[in-house]
């Protein structure tokens, strides 16, 4: 199976209204998809994220010339080389070659990985809570209500982008209106120090529907996470930007978090991502993937979760949820797999078991313009 052709699909969408988290507003959503084709006709798709001009230049000038003529079955070696150039590009190549190998074997990707344990996987609706609307709190709560009406029982909302007083008023109002209807995760995007994070505990003690507090502080502050974990009544989660299982080791070995959150597009290939899942399970920790951006990368996270044993016998067959980007993003439906009533159902078939939406590829093709 010799690689014969690689096509790139840089995609860009301008949002109808800006929205964001503690790091600022999103005015655009982007996606970078690749399609690798072998001489024997097998095809596989991969996805990565970065500034589109950087990705396009890197693939056209270096990665594609390197890959042409190589064997698709040399996935591990090829990924190892490419990740030295650009880690996120290696993730895309790894996904595409994984699908090709599964197609050649006549297997679904989950079968290639040993078979799915879970036919369905729960989803939580993920929100970017801030907007330039003066009534941003009302708008944010309205979005969560809409998701609940669609069958979601879990949601993640943002904190850390306003003053603590404003954010706590937002979440208190949300809890007053929705508590009992939804389990809630709070994501601070590493905006706090220990004292600021601890200030939430007086509220946490009165709420029994919290899933976790996500990345309240910079993730390298392992000692501070250990301290915070000892005084908080809710689980601590994080790790979306960590590049491999090794990067998670300090958090794991020092007991700094309760839930690992790797992202398929930020790790060193899909095989490396699955190593992080195994690290979590071997260490007795839960793992709930970060999968806000993109559509294909979320599917790979979903398939890996479907193959992951449940955390403990106390959970029965229950597996931790996978994120669903509820905000304006046409790339969530590049591949037609959407949770229904808060649950993903694993499709059948060979390879990915899904086909790409060519209309999305054509409609949102990046025209080369500058964007920020």
Residue 306: φ, ψ to 5°: -65, -25
DSSP state of 31: E
SS3 state at 259: strand
Q: In the chain, what are the helix, strand and coil shares in percent, each to the nearest 5?
A: 40, 25, 35
Q: Give the H/E segment covering residue 159.
A: none
Residue by residue, DSSP assigns 173-193 as HHHHHHBTTBEEEEE-TT---
Token couple for 103: 């197609």
Pairing of strands 183-187, 154-158: parallel
* 334 neighbors 9 (Cβ within 8 angstroms): no
Q: Which of 83, 118, 156, 290 is catalytic?
A: 290
Please give the distance of CA 183 from its chain centroid, rounded to a whole number.
Answer: 19
> For this structure, is 290 an active site residue?
yes
> For this structure, is 170 an active site residue?
no
Where do the H-state alpha helices sit in 74-189? 75-85, 87-105, 109-112, 136-149, 164-178
First to last CA, the chain: 39
Q: Which of 158, 170, 243, 266 is catalytic?
A: 158
Q: Look at residues 248, 306, 315, 326 and name the one whose alpha carbon lies nearest to residue 282.
A: 248
Q: Compute CA distances 168 → 185, 196, 233, whole Å.
A: 14, 12, 17
Residue 272, C-beta contacts closer than 8 angstroms, at least 6 positions apart: 94, 244, 245
Catalytic residues: 158, 290
């Amino acid at each position: 199976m010799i690689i014969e052709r690689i096509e790139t699909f840089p995609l860009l969408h301008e949002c109808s209204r800006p929205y964001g988290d503690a790091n600022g507003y999103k005015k655009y959503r982007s996606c970078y998809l690749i399609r690798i084709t072998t001489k024997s006709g097998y095809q596989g798709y991969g996805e990565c994220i970065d500034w589109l001009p950087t990705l396009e230049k890197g693939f056209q000038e270096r990665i594609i010339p390197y890959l042409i003529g190589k064997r698709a079955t040399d996935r591990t070696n090829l990924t190892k080389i490419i990740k030295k150039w650009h880690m996120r590009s290696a993730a895309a190549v790894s996904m595409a070659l994984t699908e090709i190998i599964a197609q050649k074997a006549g297997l679904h990707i989950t079968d290639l990985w040993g078979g799915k344990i879970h036919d369905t996987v729960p989803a939580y609706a993920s929100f970017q809570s801030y907007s330039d609307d003066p009534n941003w709190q009302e708008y944010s709560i309205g979005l969560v209500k809409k998701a609940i009406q669609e069958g979601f029982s879990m949601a993640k909302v943002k904190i850390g982008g306003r003053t603590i007083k404003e954010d706590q008023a937002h979440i208190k109002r949300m809890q007053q209106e929705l508590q009992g209807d939804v389990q809630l995760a709070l994501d601070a995007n590493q905006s706090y120090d220990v004292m600021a994070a601890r200030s939430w505990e007086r509220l946490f003690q009165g709420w029994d529907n919290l899933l976790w507090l996500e990345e309240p502080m910079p993730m390298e502050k392992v000692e501070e996470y250990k301290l915070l974990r000892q005084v908080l009544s809710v689980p601590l989660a994080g790790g979306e930007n960590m590049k491999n299982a090794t990067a998670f080791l300090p958090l794991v070995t020092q007991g700094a978090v309760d839930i690992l959150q790797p992202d398929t597009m930020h790790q060193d290939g899909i095989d490396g991502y699955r190593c992080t899942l195994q690290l979590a399970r071997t260490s007795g920790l839960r793992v709930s993937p970060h999968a806000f951006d993109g559509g294909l990368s979320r599917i790979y996270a979903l398939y890996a979760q479907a193959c992951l044993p449940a955390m403990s016998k106390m959970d029965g067959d229950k597996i931790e949820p996978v994120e669903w980007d509820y905000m304006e993003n046409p790339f969530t439906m590049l591949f037609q797999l959407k949770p229904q009533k808060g649950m993903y159902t694993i499709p059948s078939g060979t390879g990915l078991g899904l086909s790409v939406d060519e209309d999305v590829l054509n409609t949102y093709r990046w025209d080369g313009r500058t964007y920020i």
